[in-house]
Chains A and B, each alone.
Chain A
Amino acid sequence: MAETVLEIENLVKNFGALRATDGVSLDLRQGEIHALIGPNGAGKSTLIHQICGTLKPDQGNIRFSGQDITALGVAERARLGLGRTFQVSSIAPEFSALRNVMLAVQAKQGTSFRFFTPVMRDRSLTEPAMAMLERVGLAARADIPAAELSHGERRQLEIAIALALESRAFLLDEPMAGMGPEGSKALTGFLDGLRHEAPILLVEHDMDAVFALADRISVLVYGKIITTGTVDEIRRDPAVRSAYLGDHA
Chain B
Amino acid sequence: MTLSRETLINLILIVLLAAVPFVALGIGQPFYITLATRIAILALAAVGLNLVLGLGGLVSFGHAAFFGIGGYVAGILAAHASSGEALMFGLAGSDQMPVIWLVTLIVCGIVGLAIGAVSLRTSGVYFIMITLAFSQMIYYFAVSWPAYGGEDGLSILVRNRFPGVNSMKPISYFLICLGMLIAGLGLFSLIRASRFGAALQAARQNAVRVAAVGISPYPIRLAAFTLSGMITGVAGALYADLNRFASPSMISWHMSGELIVLIVLGGTGRLFGPVAGAMLYVVFEFALGGLTERWQFFLGLILLAVVLFARGGLLGLLAGKARHG
A residues bordering B, Cβ < 8 Å? Answer: 52, 54, 73-76, 78-79, 84, 86, 90-96, 98-100, 102-104, 106-108, 111-120, 122, 125, 145, 161, 165
Task: From B193, B205, B209, B214, name the one whose CB has the most chain A CB atoms within 10 angstroms.
Answer: B214
- Please indicate the chain A residues that have their CB under 8 angstroms from the CB of B122 in the complex: none
- Please indicate the chain B residues that have their CB under 8 angstroms from the CB of A91 in the complex: 206, 209
- Whether A114 touches B325, Cβ cut-off 8 Å, given contacts A54-B208, A75-B214, A107-B214, is no
Please tell me if the beta carbons of A75 and B198 are within 8 angstroms of each other in the complex. no
- Please indicate the chain A residues that have their CB under 8 angstroms from the CB of B280 in the complex: none
**The one of A78, A96, A116 that contacts B212, using a Cβ cutoff of 8 Å:** A78
**The one of A92, A98, A115 that contacts B191, using a Cβ cutoff of 8 Å:** A115
Please tell me if the beta carbons of B198 and A102 are within 8 angstroms of each other in the complex. yes
Please tell me if the beta carbons of B201 and A94 are within 8 angstroms of each other in the complex. yes
Please tell me if the beta carbons of A106 and B209 are within 8 angstroms of each other in the complex. no
Interface hits, B161-196 → A, CB 8 Å: 190-191, 193-196
Task: Give the CA-CA distance A122 to B194 in the complex, in Å.
Answer: 10
Task: Give the CA-CA distance A100 to B212 in the complex, in Å.
Answer: 12
Interface hits, B203-222 → A, CB 8 Å: 205-206, 208-216, 220
Closest chain B residue to A84, Cβ basis: B212
Please tell me if the beta carbons of B195 and A119 are within 8 angstroms of each other in the complex. yes
Task: Give the CA-CA distance A91 to B207 in the complex, in Å.
Answer: 9
- Whether A93 touches B205, Cβ cut-off 8 Å, given contacts A75-B215, A99-B324, is yes
Can you sample 27 A-B contacts with CB below 8 Å? A52-B212, A54-B208, A75-B214, A78-B213, A79-B214, A86-B212, A98-B325, A102-B198, A103-B198, A103-B215, A106-B195, A106-B215, A107-B214, A107-B215, A111-B195, A112-B198, A112-B199, A114-B196, A115-B191, A115-B194, A117-B194, A118-B193, A119-B194, A119-B197, A120-B193, A122-B195, A145-B324
- Whether A103 touches B202, Cβ cut-off 8 Å, given contacts A73-B216, A75-B216, A145-B324, is yes
- Whether A92 touches B212, Cβ cut-off 8 Å, given contacts A99-B325, A112-B199, A113-B196, is no
Starting from the known contacts A103-B198, A107-B213, 8 additional A-B residue pairs (CB-CB under 8 Å) come to A76-B214, A78-B213, A90-B206, A92-B206, A94-B324, A108-B214, A119-B197, A145-B324
Closest chain B residue to A52, Cβ basis: B212
Please tell me if the beta carbons of A103 and B206 are within 8 angstroms of each other in the complex. no
B residues bordering A, Cβ < 8 Å? Answer: 190-191, 193-199, 201-202, 205-206, 208-216, 220, 223, 322, 324-325
- Please indicate the chain B residues that have their CB under 8 angstroms from the CB of A119 in the complex: 193-195, 197-198, 325
Please tell me if the beta carbons of A74 and B193 are within 8 angstroms of each other in the complex. no
Please tell me if the beta carbons of B209 and A112 are within 8 angstroms of each other in the complex. no
- Please indicate the chain B residues that have their CB under 8 angstroms from the CB of A104 in the complex: 213
- Please indicate the chain A residues that have their CB under 8 angstroms from the CB of B216 in the complex: 73, 75-76
Please tell me if the beta carbons of B212 and A74 are within 8 angstroms of each other in the complex. yes
- Please indicate the chain B residues that have their CB under 8 angstroms from the CB of A161 in the complex: 213
**The one of B193, B196, B205, B212 that contacts A95, using a Cβ cutoff of 8 Å:** B205
Closest chain B residue to A89, Cβ basis: B209
Closest chain A residue to B209, Cβ basis: A90
- Please indicate the chain A residues that have their CB under 8 angstroms from the CB of B215 in the complex: 75, 103, 106-107, 112
Task: Give the CA-CA distance A90 to B114 in the complex, in Å.
Answer: 32
Closest-CB distance, B187 to chain A (whole angstroms): 9
Please tell me if the beta carbons of B213 and A95 are within 8 angstroms of each other in the complex. no
Please tell me if the beta carbons of A92 and B202 are within 8 angstroms of each other in the complex. yes
- Please indicate the chain A residues that have their CB under 8 angstroms from the CB of B193 in the complex: 118-120
**The one of A78, A95, A96, A113 that contacts B211, using a Cβ cutoff of 8 Å:** A78
Task: From A75, A122, A161, name the one whose CB has the most chain B CB atoms within 10 angstroms.
Answer: A75
Closest-CB distance, A189 to chain B (whole angstroms): 25
Please tell me if the beta carbons of A92 and B205 are within 8 angstroms of each other in the complex. yes
Closest chain B residue to A77, Cβ basis: B214
Closest-CB distance, B113 to chain A (whole angstroms): 15
Please tell me if the beta carbons of A75 and B211 are within 8 angstroms of each other in the complex. yes
Closest-CB distance, B202 to chain A (whole angstroms): 4
- Please indicate the chain A residues that have their CB under 8 angstroms from the CB of B325 in the complex: 95-96, 98-99, 119-120
Task: Give the CA-CA distance A140 to B199 in the complex, in Å.
Answer: 24
- Whether A165 touches B213, Cβ cut-off 8 Å, given contacts A103-B199, A116-B194, is yes
Task: From A90, A93, A108, name the one whose CB has the most chain B CB atoms within 10 angstroms.
Answer: A90
Task: Give the CA-CA distance A111 to B197 in the complex, in Å.
Answer: 12
Task: Give the CA-CA distance A105 to B60 in the complex, in Å.
Answer: 30
Please tell me if the beta carbons of A103 and B213 are within 8 angstroms of each other in the complex. yes
Task: Give the CA-CA distance A161 to B201 in the complex, in Å.
Answer: 17
